[in-house]
């Protein structure tokens, strides 16, 4: 039995379609990578070359001197902003992920009155933009004395409705009810059943939700802008925004802002490279459901 032959007209049409699609993809990739390329090139220039040379043309290599000046300015305030961002992102994402897993697991494995209505209410939170609720959260933080503290940024970040949704999807797919029943018959309590049986099965969900939470916390800008007045508590994005706002009066900040912006995306890129396979599996699981 021989394979059916492809007519010349069909082969020509297929080749043309692939050429068009690959060309469009190449253009989109070039457009997407252009800002990052500009950032990489210009982070190596001093202030004079930033204005004296075109944006994508290399000049004298000053990246290391720019880094030294950046971390030395104002007793290393930029390093403090990076540390603050790591605190807000890592600690906040770990706590948010654990809460989301507990909530999603409970919604899937337990029966209680009003469960689906409560779950629908949680899902409504996905539709509400964070900027809309920032002012009410500021008023509540002001009444409790949390404004201008680390807690003002950490506490609101603990709530992640999309994480709860993903956790329920993963719990339904990865944690069989028979396994939980067997653990209960062996005498395990509910907390131990979750910690020793369900949580290891939910490790892909943990990494996926952690990556989403980490990215959201690292890029969070409006909430710290509303909550924080002390520059020592700023995350790196808010700190760079303040420097950028003073460029007209302080032109030497151009090199600081560009070099700092390049450094600020390194943790995000590292997290995506390390955890991208979990992120893709999370999106696939959500799409199936």
CA-based nearest residue to 238, from 220, 262, 263, 211? 220
Per-residue tens of pLDDT for the chain, all 289 residues: 455 566 777 777 788 888 889 999 999 999 988 988 999 999 998 888 888 888 888 888 889 999 999 999 888 999 999 999 999 999 999 999 999 999 999 999 999 898 999 999 998 888 888 788 888 889 999 999 999 999 999 998 898 999 999 999 999 988 898 889 898 888 888 889 999 999 988 888 898 899 889 988 999 899 999 999 999 999 999 999 999 988 888 887 888 999 999 999 999 888 888 877 766 665 555 554 4
Burial 146-184 (b: 16+ CB within 10 A, else e): bbeebebbbbbbeebbbbbbbbbbbbbbebeeeebeebe
- The pLDDT assigned to 218 comes to 92
Query: Rounded to whole angstroms, what are the CA distances from 283 to 220, 246, 287?
Result: 21, 40, 6
Output 127-136 pairs: Cβ under 8 A, ≥24 positions apart.
130/220, 130/222, 130/223, 131/222, 134/222, 134/223, 134/226, 135/226
Residue 106 near residue 226 (C-beta atoms within 8 A) = no
- The pLDDT assigned to 204 comes to 85
- The pLDDT assigned to 282 comes to 57
Helices (H), 59-176: 63-72, 77-86, 92-109, 115-127, 130-144, 151-154, 161-174
CA-based nearest residue to 122, from 139, 106, 140, 134? 106
DSSP helix/strand/coil, 164: helix
> Mind listing the domains of the chain with CATH numbers?
70-286 (1.10.3720.10)
DSSP helix/strand/coil, 149: coil
- The pLDDT assigned to 5 comes to 61
- The pLDDT assigned to 97 comes to 94
User: What is the pTM (predicted TM-score) of this model?
Assistant: 0.83
- The pLDDT assigned to 7 comes to 73
Burial 62-78 (b: 16+ CB within 10 A, else e): beeebbebbbebeeebb
């Amino acid at each position: 039995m021989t394979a059916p032959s492809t007519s010349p007209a069909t082969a020509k049409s297929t080749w043309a379609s692939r050429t068009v699609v690959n060309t469009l993809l190449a253009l989109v990739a070039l457009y997407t990578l252009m800002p990052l390329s500009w950032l990489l090139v210009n982070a190596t220039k001093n202030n004079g070359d930033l204005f004296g040379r075109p944006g994508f043309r290399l000049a004298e290599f000053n990246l290391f001197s720019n880094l030294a000046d950046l971390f030395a300015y104002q007793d290393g305030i930029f390093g403090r902003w990076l540390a603050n961002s790591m605190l807000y992102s890592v600690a906040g994402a770990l706590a948010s992920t654990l809460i989301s897993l507990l909530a999603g697991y409970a919604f899937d494995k337990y029966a209680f009155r009003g469960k689906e209505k409560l779950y629908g209410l949680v899902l409504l939170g996905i539709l509400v933009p964070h900027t809309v609720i920032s002012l009410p959260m500021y008023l509540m933080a002001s009444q409790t004395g949390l404004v201008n503290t680390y807690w003002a940024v950490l506490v609101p970040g603990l709530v992640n409705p999309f994480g709860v949704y993903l956790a329920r999807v993963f719990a339904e797919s990865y944690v069989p009810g028979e396994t939980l029943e067997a653990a209960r018959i062996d005498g395990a309590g509910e907390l131990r059943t979750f910690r020793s049986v369900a949580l290891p099965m939910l490790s892909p969900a943990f990494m996926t939700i952690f990556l989403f939470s980490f990215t959201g916390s690292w890029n969070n800008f409006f909430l710290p802008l509303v909550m924080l007045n002390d520059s020592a508590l700023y995350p790196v994005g808010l700190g760079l925004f303040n420097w950028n706002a003073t460029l007209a009066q302080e032109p030497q900040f151009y090199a600081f802002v560009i070099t700092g912006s390049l450094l600020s995306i390194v943790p995000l890129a590292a997290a995506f490279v390390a955890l991208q396979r979990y992120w893709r599996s999370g999106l696939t699981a959500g799409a199936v459901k």
